Amino acid sequence: MGTGIDLPLDQVMVGDCLDMLRQLPPASVHAIFADPPYNLQLKGSLVRPEGGRVDGVDDAWDRFDSFPAYDAFTRAWLTECRRVLRKDGTIWVIGAYHNVFRLGTALQDLGYWILNDVVWRKSNPMPNFRGRRFTNAHETMIWASRGPESRYKFNYAAMKSLNDDVQMRSDWLIPLCTGAERLRDEDGKKVHPTQKPEALLHRVILSCTSPGEVVLDPFMGSGTTAAVAKRLGRRFIGIERDETYAAAAQARIDAITPMPESAALSLPAKREQPRVPFGTLVERGLVPAGSRLVDRHRRWKAEVGADGTLRCGKAVGSIHKVGAAVQEAPSCNGWLFWHVEHPNGSLRLLDELRAEIAGS
């Protein structure tokens, strides 16, 4: 990694988010997950139909006097995060309708480039007791790169695998953090009011980091980000102001055993696999020089040159160039266009032949 010299890796920094962020070197973390205070502005307490009181979020850290005050706070920590984020890093920010629009606006104004907004659909949300609104059944995460030209990382194949081999969508159905996963104190009271489910962080961290990379959480709370990062073989930096939360998180993290690296590595995408030039197939006699390639419908035939070029009428060049030329298309992936014709008449795609010799 090369930049990790001064990084307090795999630690919880106890202190103010801004103070701690300022101690980190620039361009040093691969990903950030931030679950900032929600600015909920609840008035009075909410009472359930049967009389019980709803244990809502009314902690002091969650109250701001005004939108400008909240915006100033938001811009301050997002500015520091952008400094700390590597050029190719990405940030995730989660919020609900009370604050997420301020977060998104601030991200854009500070130069971040939004890649997706991702909806966490809660399978078991709290109902709306008064029947005055729709059940508030989701929260929104914003995924952004450092800027519009960033070459950010996205583990497309891993996300596709997670979703039964179809593209992962921007709406994720995941249950709330309940049961054994929810941290509770001796009295059975929940340690943190907004503990996020590990399944959510599993998908987030898997989507945009590789094993060994560094994930920063500037509002660590109960430590879900750090716990999942450790389990997935990533490094983490957690920042938490509240000492009770920090201690609970530390104990939780200590109990985690990382999974074997073979499990943490996701299936490499095709574009990350070693390349086999077409000329190699010619050299090895799989596609002999002088033989002919055809497209799927046998509309075009092309002759293979000893140097790995194709010829089809006037078109001469790589399998891609000639494929594009005969179709009069702007571009073409020759591997998926040209076929070898067997004497028995069956066709084999070049891409299949390539797969056979990859790794040999």
Hey, which residues between 309 and 328 contact a copy of itself (CB under 8 A)?
309, 311, 316-318, 327
- H/E segment holding residue 116: strand 113-122
Select from 63, 75, 83, 98 the one that contacts a copy of itself (CB under 8 A): 98
User: Is 202 among the residues that bind DNA (CB under 7 A)?
Assistant: no
CA distance 188 to 190: 6
Question: Contact at 8 Å (CB) between 181 and 198?
Answer: yes
109 is in the binding site of which of DNA, a copy of itself, none (Cβ under 5 to 8 A by kind)?
a copy of itself
Among 335, 338, 339, 353, binds DNA (CB under 7 A): 335
119 DSSP β-pair partners = 140, 171
Give the one residue of 15, 75, 175, 256 binding DNA; rule: CB under 7 A: 175
Judged by beta carbon distances under 5 to 8 A according to partner kind, the member of a copy of itself, DNA, none in contact with residue 80 is: none
Q: In 10 A of CB 4, how many CB atoms? A: 13
Residue from the set 16, 55, 109, 356 that interacts with DNA by CB under 7 A: 55
Interacting stretch for a copy of itself, rule CB under 8 A, among 26-34, 171-179, 219-227, 338-346?
Answer: 171-179
Site membership for a copy of itself, residue 330 (CB under 8 A): yes
Query: CA–CA separation, 127 vs 223, rounded Å?
Result: 27
Do 235 and 31 touch, CB atoms closer than 8 A? Answer: no
76, 176, 315, 316: which one contacts DNA (CB under 7 A)?
176
Using DSSP's 3-state secondary structure scheme, residue 209 falls into coil
Member of 157, 199, 316, 347 binding DNA (CB under 7 A): 157
| Partner whose binding site includes residue 267, from a copy of itself, DNA, none (CB under 5 to 8 Å by kind) | a copy of itself
Contact 3, 212 (CB under 8 A): no
123: its two tokens: 């399978």
**Which candidate, 3, 6, 9, places its Cα nearest to that of 216?**
9
Q: Which two tokens stand for residue 45?
A: 């307490």
Where in 244-283 is the site for a copy of itself (CB under 8 A)? 259-260, 262-267, 269, 275, 277-280, 282-283
